[in-house]
Amino acid sequence: MKFLLQRIAFYLFTAWAAITINFFIPRFIPGDPVTSLINKFQGQMSTEAIQSLYVLFGLDKNASMWSQYIDYWGQIFRGDLGLSFTFFPTPVSEILGQSLPWTIALVGITTFASFMIGTSLGVLAGWRRGSWLDGLLPVTTFLSSIPYFWLGLLAITLLAGSDSFFPSSGGYEPGLVPSWNGEFIGSAVQHSLLPAITILISSVSGWILSMRNMMVTVASEDYITVAHAKGLSERRVMVSYAARNALLPNVSGFALSLGFIVGGTLLVEIVFSYPGIGYNLFQAVGSKDYPLMQGVFLVITMSVLIANLIADVAYLLLDPRTRKEG
Amino acid sequence: MKAPVLEIKNFNVDYGLGDQAVQAVRDVTLTLHRGEVLGLAGESGSGKSTLAYGVTRLLPPPGVISGGSVIYHPPGGDPYDVMALSNSELRAFRWAETSIVFQGAMNSLNPVHKVSTQMLDVIRAHEPQLSSEARVARAKEMLKLVGISADRMDAYPHQLSGGMRQRVMIGMALVLEPQVVIMDEPTTALDVVMQRQILAQLVELRERLDFSVLFITHDLSLLVEFSDRIAIMYGGRIVEQAKSADLYKDSLHPYSEGLLKSFPALRGPRRELAGIPGSPPDLRGMPTGCAFHPRCPHAFDRCSTEIPVLGVPEARNDPNREVACWLPGRVPVG
């Protein structure tokens, strides 16, 4: 318990540092977002409007850096991340609130599926090493070495099209209104299949490879021989002795990859024009939308931190040696 | 002589296949009798652990059992060959009839499971009809027998000392009350005090539970004191076997003699300590004839050409002794 509190304190500190950096970096970048917004409106703005924009973006020239910093924290706790330029005047939090579920549903489920499939195959391949299952390794490694955007483009070119089952872009049929009905969900699933499959193909081999190698290492441990000598069933030895121990590094890898769900989807969402948070970031960068970028970075940072915390907790639960008490 | 419980007959183990194969155990015939402690001694690489793994069919690849049989005599049942058991029969045989205490006391327990989990799963696997309370009671009783308090059931292996872990392993090996316990250097990783404690406990347990022990070690001094009979292994073969006292007082094979001379006696006149010159044979290129002849102080022509056969020596007409040596008086009868 003490260990857990220490970890939480550490992550709170890291979160503070990340948010602080997130606050300062845009303010040290030459030029400011308001200037780029003014450019967007091509000078057709009054001085008052410009001044109110500065106040609106928290770039009030009259306020000191310190009071801006305090205000920034207040805004974060209120969930106010400023207004987006690209979708002016929609608040950033609203945009993120719309796109985050798409990313989490698509990449979250795919990452989980990839982990489960890859780990199970890795367990089997490691346990029966030398069997045909070892043939999986070069194949999946080959597939995962293909650059993701190319794989995605290839999938779109070959499989998607106007008369194909797979749509080439978007998260759902353009005419539909997002709601919890069968038609919309069906359309969302249909749109997510192609990105999901390409993510799966490019990520599954990592899980297979690491799990297989850990299985091979663990299989030569003395306690595995003891488990065999005890006359336990093959299945029990494989699952409860070998895989249980080999799983540990993979679980922390999985928790870390949860953190990259939000951050790592940039390419997927760009290639498939998927309405997720990575696509937001892409749009934000394209139109110098600083508040949106800041918001996306904040979400990415937080998700990585939370995933790390989950990894720590999972390790604590799975490996008794990391628990200090006793 | 008591009835046999485990008969190893013409046992051969190779590492690898075909021409590349290294013969680690050759033509070993050894009988373990009911209730006895049979010591198996030899240098590193003499094949003693390989023999233990082979007998229980636990050899990791590339180990291959290339011949021989292991006849197990269950109490009040017909003897059967362990080598001929199907996989499920073998699983039922393991631990319930023959359990093993391994060399690595530190690594024999799975670090992520509690002691109780690891003790209970073996009982569940072999006696599924037992209620879970009965299983727990059995495991606790066994731990008490080996001197571990019952509240340590919920400990993880890393919370136990090396000696405690080995006690847990011994307790686990006895939990199904097997007929045979194979101990492969069970005390090697422990200090001498702990070694003595554990061995004393083992002697006591054996009197209570009446199992037979195949005790494998490189420490002949330990065996002389602790076992009923001793078999000496060299280069994958048994070179001598005799009752412990006989072997200690009057060893016949020059190799046993060399081993005995390499540790000091506690009583009796002072004598020079002498090691065995040379190093253990390379299994990939075994010497012709007697494997020991390049290091043997008494070697003569015949030793380098013919492999000596294990048999009752001419000079001592004692059916309990066997030696494989060409020296005069030690050649087998007949």
Q: What is the 3-state secondary structure (H, E, C) of B129-156?
A: CCCHHHHHHHHHHHHHHCCCCHHHHHCC
Cα separation, A306 vs A255, in Å, equals: 9
Quick check: A98 and A296 in contact, CB under 8 A? no
Residues A89-135: tens digit of each pLDDT: 788 888 888 888 888 888 888 989 999 999 999 999 999 888 888 88
A228 with B58: Cβ contact below 8 A: yes
- Among B103, B108, B112, the residue with its CB nearest the CB of A319 is B112
> Å from A273 to nearest chain B CA?
45
Judged by DSSP in three states, B277 sits in coil
**Which domains are assigned to chain A?**
16-78 (no CATH), 96-165+193-322 (1.10.3720.10)
pLDDT attached to residue B192: 84
Q: Does A202 touch chain B (CB under 8 A)?
A: no
pLDDT attached to residue A324: 61
Q: Does A314 touch chain B (CB under 8 A)?
A: no
Q: Has residue B102 got a pLDDT over 80?
A: yes
What element of type H or E holds A67? helix A65-78
A39-45, long-range: CB within 8 Å, 24+ apart, which pairs? A40/A85, A40/A287
Q: Has residue A325 got a pLDDT over 60?
A: no
> Å from A243 to nearest chain B CA?
11
User: What's the CA angle centered on B85, arms B79 and B86, to 5 degrees?
Assistant: 150
Mean pLDDT calculated for residue range B91-96: 92
Other Cβ atoms less than 10 A from the Cβ of B193: the count is 9
Across A256-293, b (16+ Cβ under 10 Å) vs e yields ebbbebbbbbbbbbbbbebbbbbbbbbbbeebbbbbbb
Confidence of residue B97 (pLDDT cuts 50, 70, 90): very high
> Å from A222 to nearest chain B CA?
5
> Å from B125 to nearest chain A CA?
6
Q: For chain B, where do the domains classified as CATH 3.40.50.300 start and end? A: 1-97+178-274
- Rounded percentage of chain B residues whose pLDDT exceeds 70: 99
Q: Pick the residue from chain B with its C-alpha nearest to A247.
A: B112
pLDDT attached to residue B38: 94
- Among A220, A223, A326, the residue with its CB nearest the CB of B110 is A223
Mean pLDDT calculated for residue range B145-174: 89
B158 with A320: Cβ contact below 8 A: yes
Which chain A residues have a beta carbon less than 8 Å from that of B93? 231
Q: Does A128 touch chain B (CB under 8 A)?
A: no
Mean pLDDT calculated for residue range B125-133: 92
Q: Has residue B99 got a pLDDT over 90?
A: yes
Of the listed ranges A84-93, B74-83, B293-302, the least confidently predicted one is A84-93
ipTM above 0.90, yes or no: no
Cα separation, A143 vs A224, in Å, equals: 33
Residue B90 pairs in a beta bridge with none
Residues B208-238: tens digit of each pLDDT: 888 999 999 988 888 888 899 999 999 999 9
Is the preceding omega at residue B178 within 30 degrees of 0, hence cis?
Answer: no
pLDDT attached to residue A57: 67
> Å from B222 to nearest chain A CA?
24
Which chain A residues have a beta carbon less than 8 Å from that of B160? none
Q: Does B46 touch chain A (CB under 8 A)?
A: no
pLDDT mean across residues, chain A:
83
A222 with B102: Cβ contact below 8 A: yes
Give which of A148, A122, A92 is closest to A265, Cα–Cα.
A148
Q: Pick the residue from chain A with its C-alpha nearest to B61.
A: A220
Token pair 């290639």 is found at A271
B93 with A321: Cβ contact below 8 A: no
Chain B interface mutation, best of A214, A221, A223, highest count of B Cβ atoms under 10 Å: A223
Give which of B68, B56, B73 is closest to B6, Cα–Cα.
B73
Mean pLDDT calculated for residue range A250-279: 83
Which chain B residues have a beta carbon less than 8 Å from that of A319? 111-112
The tokens of A118 are what? Answer: 């890859």
- Among B91, B108, B155, the residue with its CB nearest the CB of A226 is B108
> In the CATH hierarchy, which fold is given to the domain comprising B1-97+178-274?
Rossmann fold (3.40.50)
Q: Has residue B334 got a pLDDT over 70?
A: no
What element of type H or E holds B8? strand B4-15
A320 with B109: Cβ contact below 8 A: no
